[in-house]
A = this chain, B = another copy of it.
């Protein structure tokens, strides 16, 4: 399966065509490109912000209608209510899975492993297409609105990346909505920067956390980072923040239906616990440990299930995928409706005026199947509710003893199981919000014990719920700095930063003892070969020469017969070939590296074929100009040309082709006995695709030091 993925070329191929183009472009062009980059960043921000708001409003409205309808009906019959509730959810989930399986298979899942792979240098087919974008947006609305145990945050990251990539190529080429003047950024290198911006924008939009978005892109997703990029990425996420804020201000007037008038901060707990004592650090550490254990278990279980799904269930075709998720939807709806019914209602606390609330409305204390008017159902408050509201209720302060331990435990077990089962189905699915749900449940459980044990008035259960959420996410995703900042930004409480960090340190350490992070595990299962930032330990003792697995290098002569070239390309799958020139005196010289994709372009265009087997410049002097640089650019996320698409006549096959103008004349080279650690760093830091291992040089032509690189303008 890993043959489906290809590496990306982040290197600048300084071939003849490229140099030609560079010559033509002046400093003015650089200025134009810079402003275009900023303009694109602006567009990415606006696009992602609008997409996020659109998804949010749709989800909230579907959920609102659903709960309003169900609540109206259960006044008459609980059974009819159940049926309506289940079928409403089923319809939404079905439309989601239908869109995804039929039109945009790459839109399933969270997309973060794929984006992470993309920015690590691996191209997974189809992840950045226009149809994926559309599938992801509408699929998310269906799956989240349908009440499944998944979130819309991961998909938003993918959506941001898609928007960025599509804008970068000036719209979708397939659907002919592309404009010429935007097409300055077609190299993998430029696209990488745009996707980074999109990724940050996605997180910023999902959590309304601009700083967290930048840090998430920086820490978790990208593998290379240039400080010039930082400011642009930050700008993008600030634009998202402005767009979202503006839209929400507009919604305040009531134009957005059930979306209503939430604040910019999703789960504001700035009025929560004021202070904490040292004695509380112990239960917090316990939360960290639980988070690490449950998170690692989550990764492990989802890994098994995903493995099983890929190899057995999903092989059977799209229909099985649909049936599977529909079944899960029915079970989820039935459980979230049925379990609260089994639960006895509790009387409302006296101090609370807004008790009880109908489900699906903003606020705690949901009245559901209660005999008395002044009663509420604590399980329904979290289970029979939208996830956003449930989390708000779990985080809420000043609501001590709202939940019984029994309800929380029931919810924890059920929701954890549902989240594990739902993960990896064929709908867009994020793991952030389910993770927060799970974590805040056991966090609140611990908080209840702390409240009753320490008996201090200032301890809030909501604080522990927040820490629990952080711990589960840390234990499962192993994200650190950015998660801290995101948690601070979503809760608007800077005071808890050290606590969140403590909890994350512990849960990450505990989780790391068992397995890799969720995204790494999933990337591995999908055959995305991520290069970690740290080289493996045993590489220290290996040399570059030992590192190359294939001993026999397939190389090309400078002027090659077309038929030879075709047969070489046919009998292996390598993507890069060293080109070797034989001088008259019989000496050989490596003159560069030729990429398979460039060779295919040359074979297809045929204009460079020549009859003589002599180098093309041996007569004239310089090379004739027959290509411009853009012809060599691989279209985004498509497989590019393949040898089978190219038809060559016998005449063509007898001709020759001179590769010198097209090859990369200066690939990176390392001496044979450099340690593999160093090679690894070189490869990863510079985002390379090929490194040539060469014998030790026979002489040194010069030394470059810092002084040589300090050229004044």
How far does the alpha carbon of A677 sit from the alpha carbon of B226 in the complex, in Å? Answer: 15
A591-B696 CB under 8 A given contacts A536-B713, A702-B550: yes
DSSP majority for the A interface?
mixed
The complex is assembled from copies of this chain, and their number is 2
**What's the minimum C-beta distance from A691 to chain B, rounded to whole angstroms?**
4
Cβ A589 vs Cβ B498 within 8 A: no
Cβ B670 vs Cβ A674 within 8 A: no
**Per-position contact with B for A485-516: 1 when CB-CB < 8 Å, else 0?**
10011001011011001000100000000000
Partner of A531, one of B676, B686, B709: B709
Asked if A309 is at the interface of the complex by the 8 Å CB criterion, the answer is: no
Asked if A679 is at the interface of the complex by the 8 Å CB criterion, the answer is: yes
How far does the alpha carbon of A529 sit from the alpha carbon of B712 in the complex, in Å? Answer: 11
Asked if A678 is at the interface of the complex by the 8 Å CB criterion, the answer is: yes
Interface residues of A in 667-713 (CB under 8 A from B): 668-686, 689-711, 713
Cβ B703 vs Cβ A553 within 8 A: yes
Cβ B241 vs Cβ A498 within 8 A: yes
Q: Which residues on the B side are within 8 Å of A534 (C-beta)?
A: 228
Cβ A705 vs Cβ B689 within 8 A: yes
Cβ B669 vs Cβ A669 within 8 A: yes
How far does the alpha carbon of A78 sit from the alpha carbon of B399 in the complex, in Å? Answer: 59
| Stretch from A56-64, A84-92, A537-545 at the B interface | A537-545
Cβ A219 vs Cβ B227 within 8 A: yes
How far does the alpha carbon of A706 sit from the alpha carbon of B575 in the complex, in Å? Answer: 11
Cβ A699 vs Cβ B580 within 8 A: yes
Cβ A682 vs Cβ B689 within 8 A: no
Most buried by B among A219, A588, A665, A669: A669
A703-B671 CB under 8 A given contacts A242-B498, A494-B492, A590-B697: no
How far does the alpha carbon of A230 sit from the alpha carbon of B480 in the complex, in Å? Answer: 9
Cβ A553 vs Cβ B702 within 8 A: yes
Cβ B702 vs Cβ A481 within 8 A: no
How far does the alpha carbon of A706 sit from the alpha carbon of B574 in the complex, in Å? Answer: 12
Q: Which residues on the B side are within 8 Å of A553 (C-beta)?
A: 700-703
Count of chain A residues with Cβ under 8 Å from any Cβ of B? 115
By beta carbon, the residue of chain B nearest A243 is B498
Asked if A458 is at the interface of the complex by the 8 Å CB criterion, the answer is: no
Partner of A544, one of B578, B587, B680, B702: B702
Asked if A174 is at the interface of the complex by the 8 Å CB criterion, the answer is: no
Cβ A686 vs Cβ B681 within 8 A: yes
Partner of A703, one of B22, B264, B690, B709: B690
Partner of A480, one of B211, B231, B578, B709: B231
Asked if A666 is at the interface of the complex by the 8 Å CB criterion, the answer is: yes
Asked if A7 is at the interface of the complex by the 8 Å CB criterion, the answer is: yes
Asked if A322 is at the interface of the complex by the 8 Å CB criterion, the answer is: no
Asked if A484 is at the interface of the complex by the 8 Å CB criterion, the answer is: yes
Q: Which residues on the B side are within 8 Å of A691 (C-beta)?
A: 703-705
Cβ A121 vs Cβ B706 within 8 A: yes
Cβ B683 vs Cβ A484 within 8 A: no
Partner of A698, one of B264, B505, B587: B587
Asked if A521 is at the interface of the complex by the 8 Å CB criterion, the answer is: no
Asked if A177 is at the interface of the complex by the 8 Å CB criterion, the answer is: no
Partner of A673, one of B484, B495, B665, B713: B665
Q: Which residues on the B side are within 8 Å of A492 (C-beta)?
A: 494
How far does the alpha carbon of A301 sit from the alpha carbon of B210 in the complex, in Å? Answer: 36
**What's the minimum C-beta distance from A674 to chain B, rounded to whole angstroms?**
4
Cβ A670 vs Cβ B678 within 8 A: no
By beta carbon, the residue of chain B nearest A229 is B533
Most buried by B among A494, A676, A703: A703
Cβ A551 vs Cβ B14 within 8 A: no
Asked if A406 is at the interface of the complex by the 8 Å CB criterion, the answer is: no
Partner of A701, one of B214, B235, B694: B694
How far does the alpha carbon of A588 sit from the alpha carbon of B696 in the complex, in Å? Answer: 10
Asked if A576 is at the interface of the complex by the 8 Å CB criterion, the answer is: yes
Asked if A548 is at the interface of the complex by the 8 Å CB criterion, the answer is: yes
By beta carbon, the residue of chain B nearest A530 is B710
Asked if A12 is at the interface of the complex by the 8 Å CB criterion, the answer is: yes
By beta carbon, the residue of chain B nearest A678 is B666
A228-B533 CB under 8 A given contacts A680-B709, A704-B683: yes
Q: Which residues on the B side are within 8 Å of A672 (C-beta)?
A: 701-702
Cβ B679 vs Cβ A670 within 8 A: no
Q: Which residues on the B side are within 8 Å of A264 (C-beta)?
A: 495
How far does the alpha carbon of A670 sit from the alpha carbon of B14 in the complex, in Å? Answer: 14
Cβ A576 vs Cβ B711 within 8 A: no
List 26 A–B pairs whose Cβ atoms lie within 8 Å, in order of A's numbering: A12-B678, A211-B211, A218-B218, A223-B227, A226-B533, A228-B534, A230-B481, A231-B480, A231-B481, A241-B498, A242-B498, A537-B713, A539-B711, A548-B701, A550-B703, A588-B699, A590-B697, A590-B698, A665-B674, A669-B670, A679-B709, A684-B709, A689-B705, A693-B701, A693-B702, A693-B704
| Given A14-B674, A580-B699, A679-B709, 16 extra CB contacts under 8 A | A12-B678, A121-B706, A234-B480, A238-B498, A264-B495, A548-B702, A551-B702, A590-B697, A590-B699, A590-B700, A591-B696, A666-B674, A669-B697, A672-B702, A685-B685, A691-B705
